[in-house]
Structure 1
Amino acid sequence: MVTLFTTPSCTSCRKAKAWLEEYDIPYTEKNMTHEPLELNEIRSIMRMTEEGTEDIISKRSKAFKELDIDLDDLSMLELFELIRENPTLIRRPILLDDKRLQIGYNEDEIRQFVPREVRAMELEKAQKLVALAQS
C-alpha cells in the first residue's frame, strides 16, 4: 500500500493523487497539515532517502526561510520535531511504500509505483504497436 503525504494547497500533491487513482493504485492519503507526521513516519522517509534532509527539506520554502535555522545544528530528534511542527518544510508530495520513496511529483519516476504486471502488459502493448507501425 502506498502512503501519499500531502498538504491541501499543493498542486503536485493533487497530480500525484490523480495519477494513483488513474492507475487504480491503492493508497492512503495523509494530510500533514491536519495530521502531523509521526516519528516512525519521518524515520521511514529519512531511511529511504539518498541525501537525508537535503532530499526532504525545501530550503527555498517560505517556512524554512522564516525559521532562519541551520539544520546541521539540530539533533535528529530536534529535526523530527521541527518537521512535525512545520509540515510545509517538507517537499511534497511524498509517496512511500515498503520498498520505494518518491519526493515531489515526477511523471516518469512515479511509474515505479505501477505494479510490475501492469508495466509488463503496457510494454507488451507498446511493442505490438511498434511492430504494427513497422509492418
Structure 2
Amino acid sequence: MMITYYAYPKCTTCRKAKKWLDQNGIAYNEINIAEAPPSQEQIREIYTKSGVELKKFFNTSGLKYRALGLKDKLKDMPEEEQLALLASDGMLIKRPLAWSGEKATLGFKEEEFENTWK
C-alpha cells in the first residue's frame, strides 16, 4: 500500500512519523504541505472517508490558526468554507496527514500508526 504523506520538513512530529514509516517499511509519497496542500476536493474526500470531525483537521497550535481567530469562528463556519480555508494554506492543516485513499491519520500517535498503517 502506498500512502500520500503530507508533512512539513521542519516539523519534529512529521519527522518522527516519517521515521516510523521508514522503520516499518511503509511506502509513501511525501508532499510538503506548505508548498502543495491538498485541494479542497481532496480534503473533502479525506474528511468524508476518514470519519474524523472536520475541526480535527485544523492545526490548532499553529500561528495562522491563532492569527485568524479560528477557535471562535469555526463553530459557526459552514463546512464548505472550512474546507476552502484548509485548502488555502497547508499550515492550517494538522500534520502530518497520511492518506491511503481509504484511511487517514492526522498528527502522529505511534499506536494509531500501528493500527492504521501496519
- How far 1:17 sits from its partner (Å)? 1.1
Give 1:7's aligned amino acid. Y
Instruction: State the match for 1:24 in structure 2.
Output: 25
Is residue 75 of structure 1 aligned with residue 100 of structure 2? no
CA contact (8 A) 1:48 1:100 kept: yes
Give the number of the structure whose alpha-carbon radius of gyration is greater. 1
- How far 1:77 sits from its partner (Å)? 3.1
- How far 1:80 sits from its partner (Å)? 2.2
Q: Write the distance in 2 (CA, Å) between the matches of 1:94 and 1:72.
A: 22
The within-5 A match list for 1:25-64 is: 25-64=26-65
Give 2:25's aligned amino acid. D
Question: 44-53 vs 9-18, which deviates more?
Answer: 44-53
Gaps of 5+ in 1: 115-135
TM-score, normalized by length of structure 2? Answer: 0.82
CA contact (8 A) 1:45 1:96 kept: yes
Aligned residues: 114
Is residue 85 of structure 1 aligned with residue 88 of structure 2? yes
CA-to-aligned-CA distance 1:54-105 (integer Å, 9 cap, x gap)? 2211333321111024123433332222112222221111111133211111
Moved over 6 A (4+): none
CA contact (8 A) 2:98 2:104 kept: yes
Q: Write the distance in 1 (CA, Å) between the matches of 2:56 and 2:16.
A: 20
CA contact (8 A) 1:49 1:55 kept: no
Identity %: 28
Question: 46-55 vs 25-34, which deviates more?
Answer: 46-55
Gaps of 5+ in 2: none
- What is the root-mean-square deviation of aligned Cα atoms in Å? 1.8
Q: Write the distance in 1 (CA, Å) between the matches of 2:79 and 2:53.
A: 11
Q: Write the distance in 1 (CA, Å) between the matches of 2:61 and 2:91.
A: 11
